[in-house]
Every structure is written in C-alpha cells, then in structure tokens.
Structure 1
Amino acid sequence: MASKLLLLYLLLLKLLIFTDARSVGVCYGQIGDGLPSEQDVINLYKRNGITKMRIYGPNPAILRALGGTNIQLILDVPNDSLQSLTDPYTATNWVRNNILNYPYVKFKYIAVGNEVDPNNDNRKFVNFVLPAMKNVQKAIRDTGLAHRIKVSTATYTGLLSVSYPPRDGAFASNVQGFIEPIIKFLVENNSPMLANIYPYFAYAGTPNLDLSYALFTAPGTVVNDNGRQYSNLFDAMFDAHYAAQSRLGGANLEIVVSESGWPSAGNKGATVENAGTYYRNLITHMKRASGTPARPGRCIETYLFAMFDENRKEGLESEKHFGLFYPNQQPKYQLSFK
C-alpha cells in the first residue's frame, strides 16, 4: 500500500512540475527593425521550449507558422479595431477570418483590447471594449469553440487608485463603471482576467523603493499586510489587482498575467543584469506554483514581455529594450523555459 501511495505521489509531482514549467509564455511584438522571419521566430520558440505566445493582432504569417505546433496563443484585437467589432456581423467575420481559417492553431485566449483606460489616451476606446467582447464571445460560441477559446481583455495595474497595502487594492472611482461590467462578463463566461503587471514601472516611478523587492531578491519579508508576508513586489501587485476585482464581484475570477518584464536599458534600474535577474526569478517563482499570499498554492499563467527589443516603439526609451533575444536569435539572458 505504501509503495502504491509513493508511486501515485511521484506521478502527481511529475505532472505538477510539468504543468508549472509550462505556465510561462513569451509575448511576440514586431515593432522593431531587422527581426527574424515569422517562421524563424516560431522555430526559436520551439527550440527554447516556449509553449505559450501572445501576439498583438492577427498576423497571417505568424498564424500559418503556428499551425500544427503545440504553442498556445493569446490573440489580441488591437484597440483601433474595437469599434468595428461592436457590429455583430463584423465580429463574426473577424472570428471566421482570424480563428476558423487557422484550424491547426491552438488559440487559448482572445484579448479584446489592451490597457484601455478612462484616464489616458486610450479613453476613446472605453465604450467599445465590452460590446466588442460580447460580439466576439457570441461568434466563438456559435462556432462551438467556447469551451476551448476564452474571450477577455488585457487590463493593467494602472487602473488601480489604491495598490498598497495589497489587501486594500481598489480600482479608481472613474474606472469602476468601465471595469465592473467586464468583470461580470468574465465571471459569467468562466473566462480569466488578463492583467499586465510590471514591478519595473512601480520601481522606476517610486522614490526609495527597494530594488531587491522588485527583483525577487529581498532576503525576507518587506511588507506585512495584516499577516500576509510579501518578499516581492510582483506578488503584492498581483494581490492588489485581485483585491480590486474582488470588490466588484471578481473574487473567484482567475488572473492571467498577460505581460511582465524588465528593460535592459533606457531608464532607472534598466540594466542587463537587473533584467536578467528579474526574468530568471519570475520564471522560478512561476515554476514553484506557490501562488501569492492572497491566493497561495496556485499556478499563475504568466507571459514575459517580450521576445525582442522593439526599437520603433513610442514612449520612454526603456520601452524599446524589453527583448529576451537579439534579432540574430541569440539570447540576451540565460533563461530556462523547460
């Protein structure tokens, strides 16, 4: 009997390790010069054992190259396409052209919009997100794929007005009317919340914030939130987002981290050494499947940003330096996804 129990334990442990190691994906942006061909990039994913990808809009060359691979995909609806998908017929055509036409691609999530925020330049898209999500959801359901492909939107911690301490996390008052119906939609359809979580930007924008807390290298507890012990900023930001959505009916709503990364140049703390430390420690943290203090023992599906530096991106100089690989496909850091 004891030997049977031991064998069962070892099998479960093996399955757990395999699942955890596959919980980390990489985002594939293309706003850069001299990047490899789409087929070469897919081959690079395969060589490195990366089995999850996010792309920021339908790209036929990428989708063709993904066909028949075991790489699971988050496919974005770009923000400038949201208004058109408020028309049900257009949404149906979008799903047919970009999903059904690629039957051998392992679509996992559709991110209807990215970081739409009532408080920034993306405010013009606010009224389009939920109607587009509903229409895409109906089109997916009508094809019989709703059990396999989940419809969501990619939000971010910038929507929170309170993030410290984590248990007090709350969305800004003028954001709640936008995000609460989305949370209700996700709960009703058993879809996850996609959230972009960047300890780097919190570190760069907060004077005197301990770098080791942001890089997962703090030797012990940094924040004691009424008994919840935080030794890294990622967990604190994740739990603040969880607390915020819980206040609006999302206590049982899974969070998938649709982006997280650290730049290697361009701003405070942006060095190759710091970035490599962050990515390695984040991968290790995810493989352990320890969850967070508010949601312990969970495997958090997480997508690293990004595959390559993107020198044509707008914004801060640091935005151009998030790549894990150089255009010649050589790694910038020594990371293990297997």
Structure 2
Amino acid sequence: MDIVAEILGVPWRIRADQQSVMAKRLPVPALFSALILLLSLSDSVVQILSTGIGINYGQIANNLPSPDRVAFLLRSLNISRVKLYDADPNVLNAFSNSNVDFVIGLGNESLLDMMDPNKAQTWIQEHVQPYLPQTKITCITVGNEVLSGNDTQQMSYLLPAMQSVYGALVNLGLSKQVYVTTAHSLAILASSFPPSSGVFREELAEYIHPILNFHSQINSPFLINAYPYFAYKGSPDQISLNYVLFQPNPGMTDPNTNLNYDNMLYAQIDAVYSAIKVMGHTDIEIKISETGWPSEGDPNEAGATPENAGLYNGNLLRRIAEKQGTPAKPSVPIDIYVFALFNEDLKPGPASERNYGLYYPDGTPVYNIGLQGYLPRMDYSASNVNNALSTLSLLIIAIACLICA
C-alpha cells in the first residue's frame, strides 16, 4: 500500500503520443473499474470492507475534496449508498454510472414552495430527471427535523410539500424508482424508555398521524436521526458508556416485553416502532438516516474522543455486516446511514458538530475502524483523463512488482 500510495502521489508523466492512444482505448468509467479491480487484487495493496452501509456526505466546509475524488474514495470503500442534504449537481454528475444509490434533500426553506404542485414538478424536472438513470437517485427527503423545532407554520407545510413532490414524481413516471420521505430527530418522542412505552409528543400528533398515513399509502420509510451520544453527553454519570458504544454489558430488559437490549441505538429504534404502533401502524419500516459519534468536542462534551468514535462506528459496522435486527424486529436488518463522511469545519454549534467525520478532508482516516479507502490526489474526471491514465500505467507496474516480489 505504501509503495502504491507513494507512486500515486507523484505527478509522473508518459509521452503525449502514448497518452493519446491510451485515451482512445480506455474511457474514464473503464479507468475507474480497472483501478478498483487492480486495487482489490491483493490485501497488501488495499483492504476493502463491504458492509452495506450508507454514508452522509455533508458539505458545510471550505476544504473538502472535489466530488470526483470523493467518488473514487467511496468506490474504493465499496460504499454504494450516499445521502446528501441537497441536490448538488456537481456531486450527482461526479457519480454518474457509479451504481451508487443517492438520497437527495430539499431543505426546510423549500417547504412553502414545494406545496405548489407546479413548483414541485419544476424542481423534479431540474434536479432529478436530468441525472436519471446515469445517477441512481432513489429517495428525496423533504425537510429535515421539521417537527423538532418551534415553527408550527413550517410543520403545517411539511406533509403538503411531501405530497406535492410525490405527485410530481407520479406525473413524471418516477414514483416507482424514487420514494419520498422526511427525517425526524428523536425529540419527537415524549417517552422512549422502556422501548415498548415509546410514544410521540402529544402536541405533534396532528402532524405525525397524517404523515404516517402517507408513508403507509406510498410504502415509504420513516427516517430517524438517532444519536446515543446526545443521551450520554447529557447524563454521563447515569448512562453506561459500554451500553451506548455496543461494548459488552449486561444491557437492560424491557419489563413489558422481556426483550433484552445491549445497546441504546436498538432501544431507540424500537421505541419509535412502539410510537408508530400507538398511532395504528405496523406496516411502516424505520430507517436510520443519521447516527454517529464525534471524535472531538468542547470540554463540557463528555465522551467525544477518537477512541469512543472508533468503538461506536466500528461496532456498528460489524452489526450491520451481520444483518442484525433489533430485539423487537429481529428479522428486519437495521438500515443505517452513518454520519458523516468528512469533518466539516464550517458547521455552527459546539466543537463536536465539526468532528463527526470518518475522514479528514485530505482523505486521512480520523480513526481506524477497518475501512481502508483511497482518496486520489488528482481529479479523476474527464478533464483530467491524461493524468489519470498516467497513474493507471504506474499502478499496473507497481502491482506487478508486488505480485512478483
């Protein structure tokens, strides 16, 4: 790995006539495939861990790598599901023909406009249709954690906006391949312990009940942003660190169901299932649109360390790889998008908000959890095909040397 990385980091050159001939024979998509095939030939070159995880790709930063380089990194990690908070055309273009499933987002500021069916259809025509089918957009989140705020007017916009976006997808023949949902924080729960006693806040019932009916009607999932870290940070003396980090511990038994929980995340998920059941639904799947653990925080942010972040995400990935379900839904593997791909230096709030990334912007892992990928130093885009082809030639030579050694 060190040999190949060293070679890839040097701006080597080959003759212009060779570049021209090679460029005609090997287009950029084929280059990507060839590079990944070569990188996977030997454990001494790179280890690729496939766990079926999703990743949140936030961009509130001024030092992130280009989307073309990020596409290469995620392909080297074998991550095939990405969640955005917008519909960034640079990202969607960079992942063209990549077989990555994308969740794209409409911000809370767009809810009023999206209530208008014509504006919703125009948005789909401008931000979704042009990228299909080359980029696999499979979900649109309309708003984020709207019901956790104090803006009741915005809360009233949420369902009509979701309905208009869905209606636009139907009109355009896209409703079978792109589903519509929204993401909630756990603050919508009035009670979450024990899990079987989960219930939504009473004042939110008028909004949540029709949203659940909508999910049931169109068969779309209920998304939750779940962070055991927040609970631990708020009561570090009362909550077991092992319990929130998926480490060995006695766990807790729900007295109503006798189900044992050895981690808080699963208890949180089942609490939401219980709350949904109270509202009369057992036909709606819960997916975790965000979860993670910060590697750094302010002095008053207990537990925000690289060691704890590595334990949380590493143990979580192992459970995802084992296709585990929760105690109440053992046959339904948890579906999770980890937060987040990179540290984001411009996020407001406490220091922890800027330190949830698995990677630093330069492609260096923040901590080791077994995910070894590669962020190229140059752009692997059509405009840089000659440089990429030079790298491919040198990579082939390097791997040949490793195999023959």
With normalisation by structure 2, the TM-score equals 0.76
CA distance in 2, matches of 1:91, 1:330: 40
Residue in 2 that maps onto 1:52:
81
Q: Give per-residue Cα distances to partners, 1:275-297, cap 9 Å, x unaligned.
A: 00000111111121220011112
1:113-128 matches, cutoff 5 A: 113-117=143-147, 120-121=149-150, 123-128=152-157
Higher alpha-carbon deviation: 241-250 or 57-66: 241-250
Q: Give per-residue Cα distances to partners, 1:119-171, cap 9 Å, x unaligned.
A: 52554421111111001101111222211111001112110010000000000
Residue in 1 that maps onto 2:234:
205
Residue in 1 that maps onto 2:352:
318
Q: Which amino acid aligns with 2:275?
A: A
% of aligned pairs identical? 37
Residue in 1 that maps onto 2:17:
none
Q: CA deviation at 1:222?
A: 2.8
With normalisation by structure 1, the TM-score equals 0.90
Does residue 229 (structure 1) correspond to residue 257 (structure 2)? The answer is: no
Does residue 293 (structure 1) correspond to residue 324 (structure 2)? The answer is: no
Does residue 284 (structure 1) correspond to residue 318 (structure 2)? The answer is: yes
Q: Given the alignment, which residue of 217, 223, 247 partners 2:247?
A: 217
Does residue 111 (structure 1) correspond to residue 141 (structure 2)? The answer is: yes
Distance 1:203 1:265, change over 3 A: same
Q: CA deviation at 1:317?
A: 1.9
CA distance in 2, matches of 1:23, 1:48: 10
CA distance in 2, matches of 1:71, 1:282: 21
CA distance in 2, matches of 1:293, 1:225: 13
Distance 1:222 1:161, change over 3 A: same
Residue in 1 that maps onto 2:275:
244
CA distance in 1, matches of 2:165, 2:363: 35
Residue in 2 that maps onto 1:259:
290
Q: CA deviation at 1:300?
A: 1.7
Q: Is the 8 A contact 2:343 2:356 kept in 1?
A: yes
Q: Given the alignment, which residue of 178, 181, 193 partners 2:207?
A: 178
Q: Which has the larger radius of gyration?
A: 2
Q: CA deviation at 1:37?
A: 0.7
The size of the alignment, in residue pairs, is 318
Q: CA deviation at 1:334?
A: 2.5
Q: CA deviation at 1:219?
A: 2.9
Q: CA deviation at 1:333?
A: 2.5
* Secondary structure of 1:101's aligned partner: helix
Distance 1:122 1:68, change over 3 A: farther
1:2-41 matches, cutoff 5 A: 21-41=50-70
CA distance in 1, matches of 2:187, 2:350: 16
1:38-187 matches, cutoff 5 A: 38-103=67-132, 104-117=134-147, 120-121=149-150, 123-187=152-216
Q: CA deviation at 1:337?
A: 6.0
Structure 1: gaps of 5 or more residues? 1-19
Q: Is the 8 A contact 2:243 2:251 kept in 1?
A: no
Supply the RMSD in Å over aligned alpha carbons: 1.6
Q: CA deviation at 1:43?
A: 1.3
Higher alpha-carbon deviation: 127-136 or 218-227: 218-227
* Secondary structure of 2:128's aligned partner: helix
Q: Give per-residue Cα distances to partners, 1:229-287, cap 9 Å, x unaligned.
A: 00000100000111111111332201111000000111210000000000011111112
Where has structure 1 moved over 6 Å in runs of 4 or more?
A: none
* Secondary structure of 1:257's aligned partner: strand
Residue in 2 that maps onto 1:329:
363
CA distance in 1, matches of 2:322, 2:334: 10
CA distance in 1, matches of 2:253, 2:55: 29
Q: Which amino acid aligns with 2:302?
A: K
CA distance in 1, matches of 2:74, 2:178: 21
Q: Which amino acid aligns with 1:305?
A: F
CA distance in 2, matches of 1:22, 1:111: 24
Q: Is the 8 A contact 1:183 1:249 kept in 2?
A: no
Distance 1:317 1:123, change over 3 A: farther
Q: Is the 8 A contact 1:53 1:71 kept in 2?
A: yes
Residue in 2 that maps onto 1:189:
218
CA distance in 1, matches of 2:281, 2:358: 33
Higher alpha-carbon deviation: 68-77 or 141-150: 141-150
Q: Give per-residue Cα distances to partners, 1:76-124, cap 9 Å, x unaligned.
A: 111111111011000001111111010111112111111112x525544
CA distance in 1, matches of 2:139, 2:371: 21
Q: Is the 8 A contact 2:200 2:275 kept in 1?
A: yes
